[in-house]
Amino acid sequence: MRLTTLVIGTALALSTATTAMAKPHLRDTPIDDALLAVGLADEIRKSCPDISARMIKAFGFLNGLNNQAQAMGYTSAEIDAYRKSDAEKARLKKRGQAYLAANGVVAGQPETYCALGRNEIEKSSRIGSLLRVN
């Protein structure tokens, strides 16, 4: 009986260790795209005087992402390390700039940010759901 318990316990421990090792980096999960959307919405609202953020919705959305990451098995330390990483911030910024450029945004031209923001709101996209026209 003791040997069976030991074998089952060892198998469970190895299974848990394998699962933890198989966990992808947060950048390789849907959470990364969701954070990109938050960053883009923030950039649009800062650059377009006619659009503002739905702050309560944004805070709720971010809290939901944190809960989702924890449900996926990420620890608070792993989430914080990802969130605070300069390399991850730079990578997301680069992705964001590519998205803005691909959608006709020109730095220093607020009307291009406004056009994108209105389009995102009209499409009811994830980005648009975090914005509102003033």
Note the pLDDT tens digit of each residue in 12-48: 444 444 445 578 999 999 999 999 999 999 999 999 9
Domain-embedded: residue 15: no
Domain-embedded: residue 57: yes
β-sheet bridge partners, residue 51: 133
Domain-embedded: residue 4: no
Tell me the pTM: 0.80
The whole-number average pLDDT for the span 64-75 is 96
Structural domain including 84 reads 25-133
- Give pLDDT, residue 2: 54
For 72-130, write each residue's pLDDT tens digit.
999 999 999 999 999 999 999 999 999 999 999 999 999 999 999 999 999 999 999 99
Give the count of domains, the chain.
1
Domain-embedded: residue 7: no
Residue 52 · residue 45 · CB < 8 Å: yes
Domain-embedded: residue 5: no
Domain-embedded: residue 98: yes
